[in-house]
């Protein structure tokens, strides 16, 4: 059997980038495993990334080091360190490979990703996994608003892939979700699964007003539900994974014809 | 700026002057076509196709409705993002592009004039503010006049002269170009969530849409108006509406136009050429419409041809947009305008896999191919209703290539074979005919040929498009590419596009018409109008007319009263 | 004395255009037909006297040229500048503002961010079935104010356009109309209502969902009490809606800025859509500043997006929550700000102001306000609608032209932005060399 090779690209954000009065975001959608595959350390340092309204060399903002070789995109792993709280679009649009972000990350982490895996060892700010089509996104801490949702005006959010959030999620998680799976180990703030039309959201903690305007998909809340949406119809009491739930369909506020969402509540 | 320009070695298609693919030099001095030049900058067209600048007779590019479309579709904005350059400002949008993108994209396609066809009079300032912000293109706008309470009351009382006095006033007050009709009576009924067929009574006003169309056509011909009434009739988009369409055409048959032009321009006729009784037995009636147009001289049409894909529909026809939103369940904006008009907007996806959409797609092309005389037809997609204007090159390639139509039909819903006759039509347009339906006919129908547009005769504006294609080319893909990005577009003697890139961005001019009405009639009409303002409008009479500041580059066309 | 009629009022989103003003010795001396606040604006008060630059913590008066030059230096050097405000100035100034934002790669945003921005987000999700205010006056027999208190915020709204106005189909005025008010407390407007619904704070969303279910024929699933409102009351309002030939909901910041924010508005619009299956129904935001709508219009046709537009990368990126002013400032993203015709010092959350006070701030405004206290460059301007003319858009999208009533030595907003833009271009072209 051929040995699986692995290449590790280490990117550490330089301290001076975030040391000013203003913390100006750095945009790193150009730094995904598939885009950096095949590039030398020098070439990676020369990749242009936006810092505010100017384009800079990656090497001017990050300390860059490369270990090992890769024969395909899937063998590339990027490890990001330093203060990542204003580093936006980590892994956005990535197709393969792996990213490990050590710390809290800024908005759009894993947005529009199609494959590969991102692990965030900290919290992720808003729009993580937004319009995600595939791959895996693990957020060990909390996630901000619009997790796995859509960008403004769009009618489809996440369509595929798997997302796990170790902590809590802010409002509108999984809005317009059409496919894929989200597991939230903590609580969900208001309107998780808003406008959901497919896929599955599991909330192990509590949820407020989940499932509003749902037309499809499934939400399961293991904790308690506060402010249940008043336009859901109770169907039956049923057992899921050995536990009893009240099963509702909705949202009838979207008309009966379209109310095909399923909400399990304890 | 280059003062003299010589375009050498072009194969020129200038239908208004009967020039049919002749190798011919074009001379421009100080922005106008001249006989000869002395010390010109020379462009070698190298045997490429040369036409006058394109003239679009109907595209929703500016105003409240268009902007509502942009505002509520950031997802469309996101599709057309382009960063600014040293010369050009940022672009956004696909079906609802920002003003800068409108100018740049039309110019890249070789167009130099666009008519905004639906200006709500009360919001006319808005339309003009956007027109001013569209670079390069000359433009004009048609105010909506058919659902106005003043119109309804004068039609009811049969006072055509007073109606004429009102349309003269409102065209002047809005710096408009002519009379636009959109779902006459139906839009007023929509203020109560109702609609009107051609012979239904409009609620409370006790007139019919048929009365309104006839009254406005007669009133329009009281003046030497450059354009006929521009009509979007009743029941747009309804299965079986072709009969209403033909009856509407018949209403104005006896009216004599002031000059050699139709008395009614029927716009985006594709949407009015439907057979069947429901969407289930929906079918094309393009043949019936084309037969009528072939047999009569008083009607011109534009196509409103479908470009497949996602778009944003928008019209003053409020009830129609509501029906459409009821079908799709997508976002829907409606904006009724007091005493005058309404509007609706909803996104729509035309898919070649859906039977109805496929038939709609075929109808636009059938109309073009079944109508014998191209001088009666204008190429439009009713931008963005049947698709964005950026799809015109696709339509041109379809009209020019039977092969391409056949290939497309193969991939589309089978309804194209059962419910349309498109697959059996062999006709192919040539460059001359394309020049007619994209500039010559449109300029002539709008009366703009007398003001320098749509042709290359001496004295005309130096608006020229050079396409990177030879007159012999028949490959549909190459045709499409050539019409999307002109080799050169020249506007008023200035090169604005070179090799598909915008290289200069002069300001466009706004054309408007000043109908001149008998002062006595105007005075009589004014008494009634001022009552409307005092009692029912929410703005003052004094603040209503568009101030000169909104038309910084004016071109006035006077329309004297016909004695 | 000169009397000027049909004056257009530069105060709130009502943009009343039938005001009569008397001018004597180049001063407005009398105002008729405006509400108290509008009158006070037209009469003028608390003007900034001179351009000034902050030196060692104190504002020091200077010339226009010096202030403009300083402003341009700050903006041209910034990596993430913000151009904020615009709701109390004319569209002509906004157009130049967009141009400036493109030139320096800034974020441009208006006060919608802290008032009706959520309404815009809602419209982007479901659209807006609406109309002009004259339609309301002539046809609306049912008027619902939801989280809005016009007697306080829009003095002439009921009289000119809604409940009290007489119209073509409603010649009797309020005799022919019904007024419903939904709010968390009994406001002055609520006291006038035929039906007042008191909803628990933060529960509007639930009440709206219940109303929709009823309007779509599913009253059976609605519980007896929703967000503090009895099912009976919900059924009664739903019936009033169904039976009115033409109804309208006006909503205010009570809905846009409470829990659920833009999702409350989406739900209110969804209620309107549901009601439209029975009758004619419309909905309209009660926009605050006189030209908050105008900024959104201009910004939309020029950039494609209505507010919170980030031009840092040369193209327009729109993402309120990320690119909206308060978020940018709370996150400390900006390194310079230009504040025009608005007062974040009084209206922004404390943390945003804290960051604003640490970065260079340029203020352009006729009037001193809390923002002046920390601004580093202060540029006074003419009052639009009194000393300068220009385009504005009423809350229902009707464009009107503000009049110039008296002469002034102050530069207009438009002239100041134009001068800064030219100065910025000069700096950039020098850098280019």
Residue B65 touches chain A, beta carbons under 8 Å: no
CA A131 to chain centre: 9
pLDDT in tens, B470-495: 999 999 999 999 999 999 999 999 99
Angle at which helices B124-133 and B64-71 pack, to 10 degrees? 70
Q: How far apart are the first and last CA of chain C?
A: 56
Q: Look at residue C112 in the predicted model and tell me its pLDDT.
A: 83
Q: Look at residue C206 in the predicted model and tell me its pLDDT.
A: 96
User: Are B338 and C138 within 8 A, CB to CB?
Assistant: yes
Angle at which helices B519-535 and B149-157 pack, to 10 degrees? 130
pLDDT in tens, C308-339: 999 999 999 999 999 999 999 999 999 999 99
In three state form, how does the secondary structure of C111-166 look?
HHHHCCHHHHHHHHHHCCEEECHHHHHHHCCEEEEECCCHHHHCCCHHHHCCCCCC
Out of B72, B75, B330, the one facing A151 most closely (by C-beta) is B75
Mark whether C422 and C316 lie in a shared domain: yes
The last residue of one of the domains, among C231, C263, C285, is C285
Find the domain containing C73 and state its range: 46-113+290-432
Q: Which residue of B has its CA nearest to A255?
A: B329
Mark whether C50 and C139 lie in a shared domain: no
CATH superfamily of B4-52+455-502: Urease, subunit C, domain 1 (2.30.40.10)
Q: Give the tokens for residue A24.
A: 């100006």
Is residue C23 a part of any domain in this protein? no
Instruction: Write phi, then psi, for B346 (nearest 5 degrees).
Output: -155, 145
Residue B75 touches chain A, beta carbons under 8 Å: yes
3-class DSSP state of C376: coil
In three state form, how does the secondary structure of B392-452 look?
HHHHHHHHHCHHHHHHHHHHCCCHHHHCCCHHHCCCCCCHHHHHHHHHHHHHHHCCHHHHC
C283 pLDDT tier (thresholds 50, 70, 90): very high
Angle at which helices C413-432 and C91-104 pack, to 10 degrees? 20
Q: Look at residue B419 in the predicted model and tell me its pLDDT.
A: 97
- Cα–Cα dist C378/C74, whole Å: 13
Q: Which residues of A touch B75 (CB under 8 A)?
A: 151-155
Report the domain count for chain C: 2
- Percent of chain A at pLDDT > 70 equals 98
The last residue of one of the domains, among C233, C255, C285, is C285
0.90 surpassed by pTM = yes
Separation in Å, CA B256 to CA A55, B218, C352: 65, 9, 68
User: Are A209 and C125 within 8 A, CB to CB?
Assistant: no
Mark whether C91 and C130 lie in a shared domain: no
Q: Which residues of C touch B84 (CB under 8 A)?
A: 102, 311, 314-315
For chain B, list the contacting chains (3+ Cβ pairs, <8 Å).
Answer: A, C
Mark whether C163 and C105 lie in a shared domain: no
Among C75, C120, C222, C260, pick the best mutation site for testing chain A contact (most A Cβ within 10 A): C260
Please, what's the largest Cα pairwise distance for chain B?
67
Is residue C344 a part of any domain in this protein? yes
User: Are C79 and A24 within 8 A, CB to CB?
Assistant: yes
User: Are C218 and A256 within 8 A, CB to CB?
Assistant: yes
Mark whether C298 and C352 lie in a shared domain: yes
Separation in Å, CA B105 to CA B86, B95, B111, B132, C137: 17, 12, 9, 16, 42
β-pairing verdict for B464-467 and C225-226 = unpaired
- Cα–Cα dist B48/B46, whole Å: 6
Residue C208 in contact with residue C270, Cβ under 8 Å? yes
Residue C112 in contact with residue C87, Cβ under 8 Å? yes
Distance from CA of A153 to the nearest CA of B (A): 5
Instruction: Write phi, then psi, for B350 (nearest 5 degrees).
Output: -90, 120
- Percent of chain B at pLDDT > 90 equals 99
Mark whether C199 and C97 lie in a shared domain: no
Q: What is the CATH number of the domain that holds C169?
A: 3.40.228.10
Q: Which residue of B has its CA nearest to C305?
A: B71
pLDDT in tens, B388-446: 999 999 999 999 999 999 999 999 999 999 999 999 999 999 999 999 999 999 999 99
Report which secondary-structure segment, H or E, holds B362.
helix B355-370
Q: Where are the domains of chain B?
A: 4-52+455-502
Distance from CA of B71 to the nearest CA of A (A): 10
Mark whether C69 and C135 lie in a shared domain: no
User: Are A54 and C333 within 8 A, CB to CB?
Assistant: no
Listing DSSP states for A38-93 in one string gives T--HHHHHT-EEEETTEEEEHHHHEEEEEES--SSGGGEEEEEES--TTEE-TTTT
Q: Which residues of A touch C226 (CB under 8 A)?
A: 230
Is residue C1 a part of any domain in this protein? no
**pLDDT for residue A21 is more than 80:** yes
What is chain B's pLDDT, residue by residue, as a tens digit (563 residues)? 458 999 999 999 999 999 999 999 999 999 999 999 999 999 999 999 999 999 999 999 999 999 999 999 999 999 999 999 999 999 999 999 999 999 999 999 999 999 999 999 999 999 999 999 999 999 999 999 999 999 999 999 999 999 999 999 999 999 999 999 999 999 999 999 999 999 999 999 999 999 999 999 999 999 999 999 999 999 999 999 999 999 999 999 999 999 999 999 999 999 999 999 999 999 999 999 999 999 999 999 999 999 999 999 999 999 999 999 999 999 999 999 999 999 999 999 999 999 999 999 999 999 999 999 999 999 999 999 999 999 999 999 999 999 999 999 999 999 999 999 999 999 999 999 999 999 999 999 999 999 999 999 999 999 999 999 999 999 999 999 999 999 999 999 999 999 999 999 999 999 999 999 999 999 999 999 999 999 999 999 999 999 999 999 999 999 999 97
Mark whether C98 and C128 lie in a shared domain: no
- Work out the mean pLDDT of chain C and round it to a whole number: 95
Listing DSSP states for C156-224 in one string gives THHHHTSSS---SS-TTGGGG-EEEEEESS--HHHHH-SEEEE--TT-HHHHHHHHHHHHTT-GGGS-S
Q: What is the CATH number of the domain that holds C388?
A: 3.40.50.740
User: Are C131 and B133 within 8 A, CB to CB?
Assistant: no
User: Are B75 and A258 within 8 A, CB to CB?
Assistant: no
- Cα–Cα dist A201/C10, whole Å: 49
Q: What is the mean pLDDT of residues C93-112?
A: 97
User: Are A233 and C124 within 8 A, CB to CB?
Assistant: no
A to C CB pairs, distance under 8 Å: 116
Q: Look at residue C115 in the predicted model and tell me its pLDDT.
A: 78
The last residue of one of the domains, among C251, C285, C319, is C285
Is residue C24 a part of any domain in this protein? no
CA B303 to chain centre: 10
Mark whether C295 and C419 lie in a shared domain: yes
Q: Look at residue A1 in the predicted model and tell me its pLDDT.
A: 47
Out of C6, C120, C125, the one facing B331 most closely (by C-beta) is C125
Residue A127 touches chain C, beta carbons under 8 Å: yes
For chain C, list the contacting chains (3+ Cβ pairs, <8 Å).
Answer: A, B
Mark whether C294 and C377 lie in a shared domain: yes
Q: Which residue of C has its CA nearest to A49?
A: C313
């Amino acid at each position: 059997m051929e040995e699986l090779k692995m290449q590790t690209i280490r990117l550490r954000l330089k301290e001076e980038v975030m040391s000013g009065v203003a913390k100006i975001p750095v945009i790193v959608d150009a730094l995904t495993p598939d885009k950096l595959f095949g590039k030398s350390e020098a070439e990676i340092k020369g990749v242009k990334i936006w810092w505010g309204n100017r384009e800079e060399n990656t090497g001017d903002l990050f300390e860059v080091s490369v270990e090992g070789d890769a024969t395909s995109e899937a063998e590339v792993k990027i490890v990001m360190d330093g203060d990542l709280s204003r580093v936006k679009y980590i892994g956005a649009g990535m197709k393969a490979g792996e990213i490990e972000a050590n710390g809290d990350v800024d908005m759009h982490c894993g947005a529009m990703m199609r494959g590969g895996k991102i692990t965030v060892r900290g919290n992720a700010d808003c729009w993580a996994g937004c319009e995600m089509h595939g791959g895996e996104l693990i957020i060990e801490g909390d996630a901000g608003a619009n997790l796995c949702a859509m960008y403004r005006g769009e009618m489809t959010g996440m369509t595929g892939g798997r997302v796990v959030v170790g902590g809590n999620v802010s409002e509108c998680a999984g809005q317009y979700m059409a496919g894929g799976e989200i597991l939230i180990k903590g609580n969900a703030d208001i309107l998780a699964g808003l406008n959901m039309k497919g896929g599955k959201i599991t909330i192990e903690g509590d949820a407020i007003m989940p499932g509003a305007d749902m037309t499809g998909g499934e939400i399961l809340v293991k904790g308690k539900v506060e402010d249940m949406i008043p336009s859901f119809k109770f169907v039956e009491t049923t057992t899921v994974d050995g536990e009893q739930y009240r099963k509702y369909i909705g949202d009838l506020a979207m008309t009966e014809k379209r109310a095909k969402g399923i909400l399990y509540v304890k | 700026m280059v003062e003299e320009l010589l375009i050498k070695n072009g194969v020129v298609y200038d239908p208004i002057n009967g020039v049919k693919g002749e190798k011919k030099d074009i001379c421009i001095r100080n922005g106008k076509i001249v006989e000869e030049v002395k010390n010109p900058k020379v462009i070698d067209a190298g045997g490429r196709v040369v036409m006058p600048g394109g003239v679009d007779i109907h595209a929703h590019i500016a105003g409240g409705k268009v902007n509502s479309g942009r505002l509520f579709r950031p997802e469309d904005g996101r599709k057309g993002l382009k960063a600014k350059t040293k010369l050009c400002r940022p672009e956004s949008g696909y079906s609802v592009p920002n003003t800068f993108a409108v100018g740049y994209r039309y110019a890249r396609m070789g167009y130099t004039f666009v008519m905004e066809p639906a200006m709500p009079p009360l919001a006319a300032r808005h339309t003009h503010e956007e027109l001013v912000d569209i670079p390069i293109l000359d433009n004009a706008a048609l105010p909506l006049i058919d659902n106005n309470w003043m119109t309804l009351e004068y039609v009811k009382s049969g006072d055509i002269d007073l109606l004429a006095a009102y349309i003269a006033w409102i065209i002047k007050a809005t710096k408009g170009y002519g009379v636009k009709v959109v779902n006459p009576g139906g839009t007023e009924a929509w203020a109560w969530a109702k609609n009107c067929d051609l012979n239904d009574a409009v609620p409370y006003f006790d007139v019919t849409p048929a009365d309104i169309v006839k009254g406005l056509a007669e009133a329009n011909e009281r003046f030497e108006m450059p354009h006929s009434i521009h009509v979007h009739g009743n029941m747009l988009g309804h299965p079986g509406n072709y009969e209403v369409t033909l009856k509407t055409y018949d209403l104005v048959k006896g009216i004599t136009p002031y000059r050699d032009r139709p008395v009614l321009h029927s716009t985006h006729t594709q949407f009015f050429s439907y057979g069947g009784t429901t969407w289930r037995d929906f079918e094309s009636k393009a043949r019936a419409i084309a037969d009528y147009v072939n047999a009569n001289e008083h009607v011109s049409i534009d196509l409103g041809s479908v470009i497949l894909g996602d778009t944003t529909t928008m019209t003053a026809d409020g009830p129609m947009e509501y029906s459409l939103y009821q079908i799709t369940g997508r976002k829907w904006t409606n904006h009724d305008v007091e005493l005058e008009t309404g509007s609706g907007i909803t996104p729509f996806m035309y898919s070649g896999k859906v039977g109805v959409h496929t038939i709609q797609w075929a109808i636009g092309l059938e109309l073009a191919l079944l109508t014998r005389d191209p001088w009666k037809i204008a190429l439009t997609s009713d931008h963005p209703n049947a698709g964005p204007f950026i799809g015109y090159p696709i339509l041109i390639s379809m009209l020019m290539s039977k092969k391409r139509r056949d290939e497309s039909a193969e991939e589309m819903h089978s309804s194209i074979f059962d419910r349309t006759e498109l697959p059996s039509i062999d006709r192919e347009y040539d460059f001359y005919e394309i020049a007619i339906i994209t500039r010559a006919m449109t300029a002539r129908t709008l009366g703009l040929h007398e003001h320098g547009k749509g042709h290359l005769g001496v004295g005309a504006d130096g608006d020229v498009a050079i396409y990177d294609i030879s007159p012999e080319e028949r490959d549909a893909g190459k045709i499409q590419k050539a019409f999307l990005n002109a080799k050169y577009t020249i506007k008023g003697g200035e090169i604005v596009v070179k090799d598909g890139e915008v290289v200069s961005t002069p300001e466009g001019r706004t054309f408007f018409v000043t109908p001149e009405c008998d002062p006595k009639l105007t005075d009589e009409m004014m008494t009634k109008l001022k009552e409307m303002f005092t009692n029912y409008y929410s703005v003052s009479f004094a603040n209503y007319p568009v101030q000169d500041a909104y038309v910084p580059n004016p071109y006035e066309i006077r329309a004297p009263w016909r004695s | 004395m000169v009397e000027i009629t049909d004056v257009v009022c530069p105060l709130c989103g009502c943009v009343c255009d039938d005001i009569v003003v008397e001018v004597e010795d180049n001063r407005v001396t009398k105002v008729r037909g405006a509400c108290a606040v509008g009158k006070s604006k037209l009469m003028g008060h608390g003007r900034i006297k001179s351009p000034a630059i902050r030196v060692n913590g104190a504002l020091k008066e200077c010339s226009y040229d010096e202030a403009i030059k300083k402003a341009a230096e700050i903006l041209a050097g910034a990596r993430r500048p913000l151009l904020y405000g615009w709701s109390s100035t004319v569209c002509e100034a906004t157009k130049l503002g967009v141009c400036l934002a493109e030139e320096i790669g800034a974020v441009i945003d208006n006060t919608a961010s802290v008032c009706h921005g959520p309404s815009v987000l809602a419209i982007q999700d479901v659209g807006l079935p609406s109309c002009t205010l004259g339609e309301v006056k002539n046809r609306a027999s049912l008027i619902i104010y939801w989280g809005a208190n016009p007697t306080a915020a829009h003095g002439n709204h009921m009289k000119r356009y809604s409940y009290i106005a007489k119209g073509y189909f409603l010649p009797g005025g309020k005799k022919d109309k019904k007024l419903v008010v939904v709010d968390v407390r009994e406001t002055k407007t609520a006291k006038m209502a035929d039906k007042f619904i008191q909803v628990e704070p933060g529960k509007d969303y639930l009440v709206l969902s219940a109303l929709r279910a009823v309007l779509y024929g599913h009253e059976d699933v609605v519980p007896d009490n929703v967000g503090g409102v009895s099912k009976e009351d919900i059924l009664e309002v739903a019936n009033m809606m169904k039976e009115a030939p033409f109804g309208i909901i006006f909503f205010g910041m009570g809905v846009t800025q409470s829990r659920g924010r833009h999702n409350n508005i989406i739900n209110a619009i969804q209620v309107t859509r549901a009601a439209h299956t029975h009758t004619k129904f419309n909905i309209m935001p009660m926009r605050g500043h006189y030209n908050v709508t105008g900024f959104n219009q201009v910004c939309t046709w020029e950039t494609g997006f209505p507010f919170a537009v980030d031009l840092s990368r040369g193209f327009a990126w729109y993402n309120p929550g990320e690119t909206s002013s308060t978020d940018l400032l709370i996150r400390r993203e900006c390194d310079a700000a230009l504040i025009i015709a608005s007062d974040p010092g009084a209206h922004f959350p404390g943390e945003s102001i804290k960051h604003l006070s640490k970065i260079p701030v340029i203020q352009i405004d006729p009037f001193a306000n809390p923002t002046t206290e920390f601004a580093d460059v202060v540029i006074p301007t003419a009052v639009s609608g009194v000393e300068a003319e220009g385009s504005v858009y009423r809350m229902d999208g009707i464009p009107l032209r503000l009049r110039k009533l008296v002469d002034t030595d102050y530069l207009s907003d438009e002239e100041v932005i134009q001068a800064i833009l030219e100065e910025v271009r000069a700096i950039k072209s020098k850098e280019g060399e």
